[in-house]
A and B are shown apart, each in its own frame.
Chain A
Amino acid sequence: MRPPMTKSPSDLLTCEEISRRRLLTWSGAFAASALIPAVPSLASSRDPRFLFVILRGALDGLSAVMPVGDPEFQRLRGGFLEDIAKAGEPLKLDGFFSLNPVMKSLSALYAKKEALVVHAAATPYRDRSHFDGQEILESGLPKAIHPDTGWLNRLVGHIGGKQKVEGRRRERGISIGTFVPLVMRGPAPVLSWSPQHLPQASEDTVNRLLALYEARDPMLAEALRMGMALDKDTRAMDTQMQGRNQGPQAVLAMVEGAARLLSKPDGPRIGALSIDGWDTHAGQGPGTGRLGKLLGTLDEVFLGLERGLGAVWKDTAIAIVTEFGRTVRINGTAGTDHGTATVAFLLGGAVKGGRIIADWPSLSANALHEGRDLKPTTDLRAVLKGVLTSHLGIDANFAGTSMFPESVAVKPLAGLTA
């Protein structure tokens, strides 16, 4: 435990705030390891991985998983069906739902029972601002109060931010991409990684800089230390990432990196990443247009995760969510506007897939939310709690009070993972 910071007369940094935060980090970790009983799945031979993928911009669930069995679907979304047909035949999931034709890998995973679809799901948020919607998705709070921590960071802190692997303490959580998303921000230190390729700074310089930070700026010291640790792991990977820094290639490079890092025996276990671009207000093109291409990339992401995780795929659960859905009707510019309920996916060898969880509210006019959106019938928190309690052994009490505050009444869905 480090001694608290002492302020020097010419001190120019927010030492008070930073040292308080630092103490929180340390005390958090000690408290966690002291109070939490051996988490069953972590103590056993199984070594579960969890990845949280945020699709930012509000994915149109009705274009990804189409309720073809709903009598209103044809009428409401007729304008899109031609473009979808250009992409191929919808991939039947059951008698009611079909997948968008571009999602062939997802269809294959579904057939192998390693993908589960949830439809007509939403967080408790009922407005339509991306930023508040994403905040609620990531903060785990029922209201948007602009906090600076997220529920996944709380979870990481709860199960022990650092894990002992072969005597070395390594961070358990990792954020993939240049920014740390809110869901991963908080007192528990987490790693971060994104594909990069600059010549590495010399080790001696790094050590001197680290010493300087440790004397004056603990937050930057932490960031640099973790950056160095990550460097060692990923130096080999980076040379393969050359030139892959645009559009879908960048997304796939990011995902490949995530998979490899999570599959390492001494690597992190809980990751988060985001994919942008889902806000299809105009020219949606769900088959061969903008959304079609995005869904195609997402499908490649799914395949990339399965391949990249390799031997640990069987112990992995991945949750893919978005902040809310889109209007059931097509708008004036061949797109859709912000809506409410939408789709969520669970993938992984640990997931008990091959089914759709949807208490389908129907698309008939009087069943819509505010006359325009798919009505939510499943709380997304129930899905996430369900995965995390069974897959990571989180106790329901923690899940309902700390991880997702004020959500005790939201019961975790049972039987989502093995």
Chain B
Amino acid sequence: MADMRAALAFHRFGLGARPGDLDRLKGAARDALLGELRQPPSAFFETLKPSHLALQDLMEFQGEKRAARQVAKQQQQQTPPQQTQAPVAPDTKAPEKKATTAPPAPAKPPEAMQPAPVNPVPAIFQGEMQARFRTGLRSDIGFRDRLVLFWSNHFSISAINPRVRVLAGAYEREAIRPHLTGRFSDMLLAVTRHPAMLIYLDNAQSIGPNSIAGLRMKRGLNENLAREILELHTLGVDGGYTQDDVTRFAEVLTGWSIVAANGQGGVPGTFLFRPAAHEPGPRKVLGENYPQLDQSQARAVLEDLARHPSTARHIARKLCRHFIADDPPPSAVERVAAAFKASDGNLTAVYEALLSAPEAWEPRLMKLRPPYEFVLATLRALDVVPEPGQVARALQLLGHIPFQAASPKGWPEEAGAWAAPDAFKTRLDFAEQAAKRALRSRPLELAQGVLGPLLSDETTTAIKRAESESQATTLLLMAPEFQRR
């Protein structure tokens, strides 16, 4: 029988065990978790487009749509109404129609019938989500995936805007994944510079009022990104900043933008610092003076925010909240915050501290698996490859579509938010469908295999007494020890 730490490694820190995983785990659980972080990137990502090419595709599509509209407009103006060319017997029954409605079959076809331009966004987004999900299904333990989910939610973007949607998957792969084990300030910088974030929080168009561009056009400052960096990404809402800091920081961030489709300044769709939009002059943020004249001004502020003691506490609390309990034990938070500070934000050290906390290995399962994790854990346990669209549909019904959190705060953590009676009933319906589609396996063996010592006597009894294999499997998937982690 596999030991408790092995079970918790998969269950609390990973995406859930697949059959045989618990027995296969050799060596210390903690080392296995940290070791997973050093593996090479997922092969599923190899064929995906980098963000600037995805954005270029969208820019091209938008350009084509504009051009098509122009052509249509010109044709309307040039071709007179067709009624005079193709005489049609007046239809006395039909009501009088205005001349601008579609004329009867025209005498000659319109100029150069172009095929309608194809919107690249759905295919790109779906491709990214599939790769992401498949990576999760195939991961050894899933600790790396869980950390990516954590950070992606921490630096949440919302894919409602098509320009953000086309970038969402690439954003996670480019700004989050490569920095998972590096310094927090590196991830913070990568996220802040990424076109997805600059678009999502309106910074790409934010202009310093006294900059060259600001004085010329009547456009100006947008505080959104500055505020969310302070409130959500670094210090936290009680971290000790003021409205003044928000405005000053917003001024510092002006000019952080993106190369447009015309390619002026660089490769379209990549980060561009626009000096003409940058608010000139030194700025004071959180009591520090920043005299730099270019993008290094904002970089310096970000470095200092990453070092701020409130940031260490904020991140530590969120990490412990995600992995341990909705109300995380203060001793664990202290330990992780101390490691953050002592290592100057080295995330490997931070994870090591988290995994060293005795509270993190408590057998009591305190957290509720959110739908995305529940669906992954289910498919891993059943060893099922889902049909295309099936996962997307399930996530939609369960209300947990990737990159669709309603606000920059991301998805909620607390059980109370996810355990709404209706949502919970939907989980059961999903579990039953999944259980029915799974290959025949012996449910009790399966339960022991994926849960090990976490499996309770009551669930064992329920499985044994089930009227069918699929019902037994459903009960396993909905058991408290499978729903919680």
A276 contacts B406, CB within 8 Å?
yes
Hey, which chain A residues are within 8 Å of B433, CB to CB? 198-199
Q: Determine if A105 is an interface residue (Cβ-Cβ < 8 Å).
A: no
A223 contacts B420, CB within 8 Å?
yes
Interface string of B421-438 (1 = CB under 8 A from A): 111111011111100000
Hey, which chain B residues are within 8 Å of A25, CB to CB? none
A220 contacts B480, CB within 8 Å?
yes
Q: Determine if A131 is an interface residue (Cβ-Cβ < 8 Å).
A: yes
B454 contacts A333, CB within 8 Å?
no
Q: Enumerate B182-237 residues with CB–CB distance to A below 8 Å.
A: 201-202, 205-207, 209, 214, 219-224, 227, 231, 237
Closest chain A residue to B325 by CB distance? A14
A219 contacts B214, CB within 8 Å?
no
A13 contacts B429, CB within 8 Å?
no
Hey, which chain A residues are within 8 Å of B478, CB to CB? 209, 212
The contact of B416 among A128, A185, A208, by CB within 8 Å, is A185
Q: Enumerate A119-146 residues with CB–CB distance to B below 8 Å.
A: 127-132, 144
Hey, which chain B residues are within 8 Å of A337, CB to CB? 222-224
Interface string of B342-381 (1 = CB under 8 A from A): 0000000000000000000001111000000000000000
Interface string of A157-200 (1 = CB under 8 A from B): 00000000000000000010111100001000001111011111
Hey, which chain B residues are within 8 Å of A10, CB to CB? 456-457
Hey, which chain B residues are within 8 Å of A67, CB to CB? none
Hey, which chain A residues are within 8 Å of B430, CB to CB? 198
CA distance A347 to B389 in the complex (A): 41
Hey, which chain A residues are within 8 Å of B414, CB to CB? 148
Most buried by A among B398, B416, B483: B416
Given A129-B237, A179-B417, A332-B214, A224:B407 Cβ within 8 A: no
Closest chain B residue to A204 by CB distance? B467
Q: Determine if B396 is an interface residue (Cβ-Cβ < 8 Å).
A: yes
A226 contacts B364, CB within 8 Å?
no
Most buried by A among B160, B221, B237: B237
Q: Enumerate A1-57 residues with CB–CB distance to B below 8 Å.
A: 8, 10-14, 56-57
Given A191-B421, A281-B202, A333:B480 Cβ within 8 A: no
B422 contacts A206, CB within 8 Å?
no
Q: Determine if B399 is an interface residue (Cβ-Cβ < 8 Å).
A: yes
A57 contacts B407, CB within 8 Å?
yes
Closest chain A residue to B424 by CB distance? A223
A332 contacts B423, CB within 8 Å?
no
Q: Determine if A385 is an interface residue (Cβ-Cβ < 8 Å).
A: no
A209 contacts B428, CB within 8 Å?
yes
Hey, which chain B residues are within 8 Å of A108, CB to CB? none
Q: Determine if A296 is an interface residue (Cβ-Cβ < 8 Å).
A: no
A223 contacts B221, CB within 8 Å?
no
The contact of B480 among A13, A129, A175, A208, by CB within 8 Å, is A13
Q: Determine if A81 is an interface residue (Cβ-Cβ < 8 Å).
A: no
Most buried by A among B206, B224, B459: B224
A208 contacts B466, CB within 8 Å?
yes
CA distance A70 to B214 in the complex (A): 29
Q: Nearest chain B CB to A366's CB is how many angstroms away? A: 19
Interface string of B467-478 (1 = CB under 8 A from A): 100010011001
Hey, which chain B residues are within 8 Å of A331, CB to CB? 220-223
Q: Determine if B243 is an interface residue (Cβ-Cβ < 8 Å).
A: yes
Q: Nearest chain B CB to A256's CB is how many angstroms away? A: 15
A199 contacts B429, CB within 8 Å?
yes
Hey, which chain A residues are within 8 Å of B222, CB to CB? 281-282, 331-333, 335, 337
Q: Determine if A391 is an interface residue (Cβ-Cβ < 8 Å).
A: no
B424 contacts A220, CB within 8 Å?
yes
Q: Nearest chain B CB to A79's CB is how many angstroms away? A: 8
Q: Nearest chain A CB to B406's CB is how many angstroms away? A: 4
B422 contacts A194, CB within 8 Å?
yes
A202 contacts B209, CB within 8 Å?
no
Closest chain B residue to A176 by CB distance? B422
B365 contacts A13, CB within 8 Å?
yes
Q: Nearest chain B CB to A234's CB is how many angstroms away? A: 8
The contact of B422 among A11, A212, A216, A230, by CB within 8 Å, is A230
Q: Nearest chain B CB to A200's CB is how many angstroms away? A: 6
Q: Determine if A211 is an interface residue (Cβ-Cβ < 8 Å).
A: yes
The contact of A196 among B209, B223, B365, B426, by CB within 8 Å, is B426
Given A12-B454, A213-B480, A282-B222, A208:B428 Cβ within 8 A: no
A178 contacts B398, CB within 8 Å?
yes
Q: Determine if A227 is an interface residue (Cβ-Cβ < 8 Å).
A: yes
Q: Determine if B299 is an interface residue (Cβ-Cβ < 8 Å).
A: no
The contact of A180 among B237, B416, B462, B484, by CB within 8 Å, is B416
Hey, which chain B residues are within 8 Å of A198, CB to CB? 397, 426, 429-430, 433
A178 contacts B429, CB within 8 Å?
no
Q: Determine if A215 is an interface residue (Cβ-Cβ < 8 Å).
A: yes
Q: Nearest chain A CB to B153's CB is how many angstroms away? A: 14
Q: Enumerate A215-246 residues with CB–CB distance to B below 8 Å.
A: 215-217, 219-220, 222-228, 230-231, 245
Q: Determine if B129 is an interface residue (Cβ-Cβ < 8 Å).
A: no
B419 contacts A205, CB within 8 Å?
no
Q: Determine if B415 is an interface residue (Cβ-Cβ < 8 Å).
A: yes
The contact of B429 among A193, A200, A220, A332, by CB within 8 Å, is A200
B220 contacts A175, CB within 8 Å?
no
The contact of A193 among B412, B422, B480, by CB within 8 Å, is B422
A14 contacts B237, CB within 8 Å?
no
Q: Determine if B174 is an interface residue (Cβ-Cβ < 8 Å).
A: no
Hey, which chain A residues are within 8 Å of B206, CB to CB? 332-333
Known: A281-B222, A331-B221. 10 other contacts (CB 8 A): A12-B363, A128-B243, A185-B416, A192-B420, A208-B475, A216-B458, A281-B202, A331-B223, A335-B202, A337-B222
- Ordered by A's residue number, 8 sampled pairs between the chains whose C-beta atoms are within 8 Å are A13-B365, A192-B423, A198-B430, A209-B474, A211-B462, A223-B420, A281-B224, A333-B205
Residues of B bordering A, CB below 8 Å: 160, 201-202, 205-207, 209, 214, 219-224, 227, 231, 237, 243, 363-366, 396-399, 406-407, 409, 412, 414-426, 428-433, 454, 456-459, 462, 465-467, 471, 474-475, 478-481, 483-484
Residues of A bordering B, CB below 8 Å: 8, 10-14, 56-57, 127-132, 144, 148, 175, 177-180, 185, 191-194, 196-202, 204-206, 208-209, 211-213, 215-217, 219-220, 222-228, 230-231, 245, 276-277, 279, 281-282, 331-335, 337-338, 370
Top 5 A-B pairs, shortest CB-CB distance: A332-B220, A178-B399, A227-B425, A226-B421, A192-B420
